[in-house]
Structure 1
Amino acid sequence: MKPPHVLLLAALSSAAPIHVPLLTQPRPGAAQLPVMPPPGAGSSSVPLADILGTHRSLTSFSSFTRLHPAAASLLADLATSTTILAPLNSAVEALPRKPWEQARDYAAYGAQAYDGSGGEDRANQNLRRFVEGQLVARSPWPRGERAKTLGGRELWWEERDGKRVIMPDEVEVERVASAVANGEVWILKGVLSQL
């Protein structure tokens, strides 16, 4: 005896084709689904704030942006265009210190540089500078055009061997991950200098 799935396949192959009428008009009272533009179309109403956290390789940087209301607000603002130069998690982990730590703070305050409310304030300021140093206040951002980060540093990008490189630090862009209503997310293989 043949297994049931073989009998069913044999019956279906010998049966007459089934014709299902296509509905060209919605049924009266049926809910209408919104038509969404394709991902990365740049014309959607999805802001950078919503898309940044969807990239698993950028969770560290994404969490840093949410810790600061000004950065979070900027990335949610559909009227302001920004290019996020987001370092990979591995690039953040490879830093000699955490993004909220600075050698000058340890030199001035010792091992307890980040203890207490004063230390917490220093850590928050350092993390804010780190985030602002990775956000370029324009999008689209054409090759060779100098633009300032929110931290005030002037950057530009060049193409070398078919890859984008952020100058003057020479940090390679792995890829442009997303283009949404208020800007783009560029994934960096390194972290930009926080001069």
Structure 2
Amino acid sequence: MRYTPLVYSLLTATLAVSALPEKQRPLQNNLGPAMPPPPSDSPSTSDPSGGDTVILSDVLGNDRSINIFAGFTRDFATISQRFEDSALNTTILAPVNSAIMGLPRKPWEDPKDYDELGANAYEGGDGEERAQRNLRRFVEQHCVAASPWKEGEKLKTLAGDEIWWESKDGVKMIQPGKIEVSSVASRVHNGEVWILKGVRNYA
């Protein structure tokens, strides 16, 4: 059986459940006027004058549209620790769930592995290690070790690739690849979470 990380299956199931309509609840007339929820793209911010400092690890899991990618990041201690470190700034480029689910191959699959090792490339202990290595590279391709990140500024991802972003007609695009940024979900003390409509090249 080909290697499939448990988190991918669990998050896929979670995504399916979260898409189900909620049951209607009777109105209660002792709660006062209803208040609309905040916009989904309104950024979370740290409050310098307040008590605790909000950091990336506090907000990455808040948006259900990127919970698959958020789950992947938790598989790797060094990445999770970076998001928890208020002294290390990061811009997280989180693809939406639908972009990950629509990939022609899983984030931990590499065509080179199949070319060299065949269909059983991810079988057994060695195969699992290979898949974890590939998945880590996928996550690192979507993290830039800086924030704030200025337009046109060429920076390296945690995987070592050089990327930048540009704005056209008010839309942010990650280059190379012309990947559209749908929103900046969070701005916190040690970085930002950008939601991408697509996935960076991860081969």
TM-score in terms of structure 1 length: 0.78
The separation in 2 between residues aligned to 1:80 and 1:124, in whole angstroms, is 24
Q: Structure 1 stretches of 5 or more lacking a match?
A: 1-37
Which residue of 98, 114, 119 corresponds with 1:111? 119
The separation in 2 between residues aligned to 1:113 and 1:53, in whole angstroms, is 31
Letter in 2 for 1:66: R
CA change 1:160–1:127 in 2 (3 A) is same
Decide which structure has the larger Cα Rg and report it: 1
The secondary structure found in structure 2 opposite 1:155 is strand
Which residue of 112, 130, 133 corresponds with 2:138? 130
Q: Note if contact 1:101-1:123 (Cα within 8 Å) is conserved in structure 2.
A: yes
The separation in 1 between residues aligned to 2:109 and 2:71, in whole angstroms, is 16
Q: Note if contact 1:81-1:139 (Cα within 8 Å) is conserved in structure 2.
A: yes
The secondary structure found in structure 2 opposite 1:179 is strand
The secondary structure found in structure 1 opposite 2:69 is helix
- Superposition CA RMSD, Å: 1.4
CA change 1:42–1:154 in 2 (3 A) is farther
Equivalent residue for 2:201? 193
Q: Count the aligned residue pairs.
A: 158
Structure 1 stretches (4+) deviating beyond 2 angstroms?
A: 38-44
Equivalent residue for 1:183? 191
The secondary structure found in structure 1 opposite 2:136 is helix
Q: Structure 2 stretches of 5 or more lacking a match?
A: 1-41
Q: Note if contact 2:184-2:193 (Cα within 8 Å) is conserved in structure 1.
A: yes
Letter in 2 for 1:190: G
Equivalent residue for 1:40? 44
The CA deviation string for residues 44-64 of structure 1, in whole angstroms up to 9 with x for no partner, is 612111211111000110000
Shift of 1:109: 1.1
The separation in 1 between residues aligned to 2:156 and 2:79, in whole angstroms, is 15
The separation in 1 between residues aligned to 2:104 and 2:66, in whole angstroms, is 19
TM-score in terms of structure 2 length: 0.75
Identity of aligned residues (%): 53
